[in-house]
Structure 1
Amino acid sequence: MSLLIPDSGLIFWMLLSFGIVFILLAKYGFPVIVKMVEERKVYIDQSLQVARDANEQLAKLKSESDIILANANKEQGRILKEAMLERDKIIYDARKQAEIAAQKELDDVKEQIRLEKEEAIRDVRRQIAVLSVNIAEKVIRKTMQTEKEQMEIIDRMLDEALASRS
């Protein structure tokens, strides 16, 4: 017997045992294995289809989100523009109101100054009149000693006052 060529009896028993194992496997083992392989193939195919559907949905959602984001950016720009216009309007209105209030306060101050000036002028005139009367009284008393002289001056002043009025 050589190492490379087996005996014919060994070959026979090996073929017989191989045939029995093959028949048993073909009858009971291969159908189960084939069924498991088919189930695995179906599961993989379903998983691939689900993954394709998920990718399609993801792409659709991405395009929708891009559209929504673009619309949101447009809306943000519009809102910011409106806010800036409203801010400018509020600032303009506040300036106008401040100018009106300042002008009113300036007018009030001018009126108060005018009134105080008139009051000061009246007060000065009163004081001048009092001083004039006092001075005139003193001058007249010195120059007119008698009652007759006093009556002549009073009559003359009354005549002058009546003449200036008419």
Structure 2
Amino acid sequence: MELLVPEFGLVIFQTIAFLLLMFILSKFAWKPVLAAIKEREQSIDEALSKAELAKQEMARLTSQNEELMKTARAERDQMLKEAKTLKDNIVNEAKTQAQAEGAKLIEKARIEIENQKKTALFELKSQVSSLSIEIAERVLREQLKDKSTQEDLVANLLKDVELN
């Protein structure tokens, strides 16, 4: 049991050593340790405030970025809309111009066909009249070979002339 119960002198000696250690620590160690803890606490507070400022700045930049993205999307949509309108206008203009050109070509072709038709009719009439004269000439030669036939023909023609 002696091991469990310390002697009175040992207790006093340990108490004096403890108080002396506390005095020395309070004089030399506690102040620097407390100062270091306080400095560390201040640096942590500063870091937290800087982190909060950075977080606020990040939130501001994020909202600003989102606003820029909205603006960029709106501009993109507007540009696409303008490009589509311009494309539609160009296509419609090209269609109108093509239709006008087609109408001109059709009219020109119709006039050309009409002119060629008139030329062909004129040539046909010419040929028909030439053929008719040639046929009439051959028929008259055949009929007028004989002198009596000629006299009868002249007499009939004179009667027709007198009646008219």
Please list, as runs of the form range in 1=range in 2, the aligned pairs for 1:106-125 lying within 5 A after superposition: 106-125=106-125
Partner of 1:91: 91
Q: Which amino acid aligns with 1:81?
A: K
Partner of 1:21: 21
Please list, as runs of the form range in 1=range in 2, the aligned pairs for 1:1-166 lying within 5 A after superposition: 2-145=2-145
Give the C-alpha shift of residue 24 in structure 1.
2.3
Question: RMSD across aligned C-alpha pairs, in angstroms?
Answer: 2.5
Give the C-alpha shift of residue 80 in structure 1.
2.6
Query: How big is each residue's C-alpha offset from its partner over 1:45-88, in whole Å with a ceiling of 9 and x where there is no partner?
Result: 11001111011111211222232222223323322322222122
Q: Distance in 2 between matches of 1:98 and 1:2?
A: 123
Give the C-alpha shift of residue 103 in structure 1.
0.5
Q: Distance in 2 between matches of 1:119 and 1:59?
A: 88
Matched residue SS, 2:6: coil
Q: Distance in 2 between matches of 1:2 and 1:116?
A: 148
Q: Which runs of 5+ in 2 are unaligned?
A: none
Q: Distance in 1 between matches of 2:55 and 2:69?
A: 20
Partner of 1:164: none
Q: Distance in 1 between matches of 2:9 and 2:136?
A: 176
Give the C-alpha shift of residue 107 in structure 1.
1.0
Q: Distance in 2 between matches of 1:11 and 1:110?
A: 136
Fraction of identical pairs, as percent: 28
- Count of residue correspondences: 151
| Range 67-76 or range 51-60, more displaced | 67-76
Q: Which runs of 5+ in 1 are unaligned?
A: 161-166
